[in-house]
A and B are shown apart, each in its own frame.
Chain A
């Protein structure tokens, strides 16, 4: 199997486990999909395309991701809700032995406690990955969302 195909299969599996973790509310497991000093950033396409660095969530390293989850669990106040992610087949831009660059489209439906559901976020994951097979991790995951207007608040990672 060529490197790109291997990378695609590994990322497909990683994406599937990633969205399962978030959608089933096992948030404590979320930082484990990243390398220790990984970047996780949610940024609007508007900012991204203008070269503006501001993100909605901007974690530098797994420790900051853990803080996000602690705050979500114990500090922040919000109405109960969950996500359902739909992700596309990844497009592998480049696959080297030790690093992979890839993009995956996503849509997130947010389901509120009263049963109402809305298309909450859609866009692209722009990823840089290290490791192969089941050891693949995000060294960088940029969540670039197209619908720049965020409804009410964002507290669960995308």
Chain B
């Protein structure tokens, strides 16, 4: 079965996390996943539009979903928040015929229609369910044996279960299983299922956000992780690019590298750190690059 997806990049992979975009494309190709990029898709609203104008956010995402429906393919995302926002829109539209009709009245203006015929999925889930861990295992050329890897799920891929539903939000295991498949050592730590703080940055940077960022990265450090890995670019921006601010806030040097999920897979299946954009991180990934060399 050919694995083919409507690829929804989201803003981050096209903005501050180009290394996620690049590594996803490279790894997907190697794993036999064909990604048809939705170049006409817009931002999902990221929860911001949703908390000002619910109907507007629903119409925007109905359009995004309709673009994937045009291709007849499930929509593959690479961001937890995109996944959740698109699934939330789909959930609301599919469960409320009146709302769906109102949204379609709007979409008609641009000659579009939302039908509800495709699903929204995340790269992590497809790597496990569609590619399969056995296939990944068979492709590993550089097992990450000597690495202690701290999974950081990020909230919006596990909670709330009525919108995510892939695995138990209290006891997920997908990232750990993936780490084991590529020969790495998953480490348990206090912040495994915690929040990076991203979404209250502009309202509570000092009061909440940076404190969480510091707690999370320190939790991984406490368990002697070599790096953290996350399926979400927003978590990545927060934990990696904002880690210096978090360090400054608590007056402690943390220095915990954070990899995007496809970067980690890429290293194990023989892609080069440079192609995967490991040099584009704020917290140095030098120690990792040297070890895999």
Q: Do A and B bind each other?
A: no
Which residues in A have some Cβ–Cβ distance to B below 8 Å?
none
Which residues in B have some Cβ–Cβ distance to A below 8 Å?
none
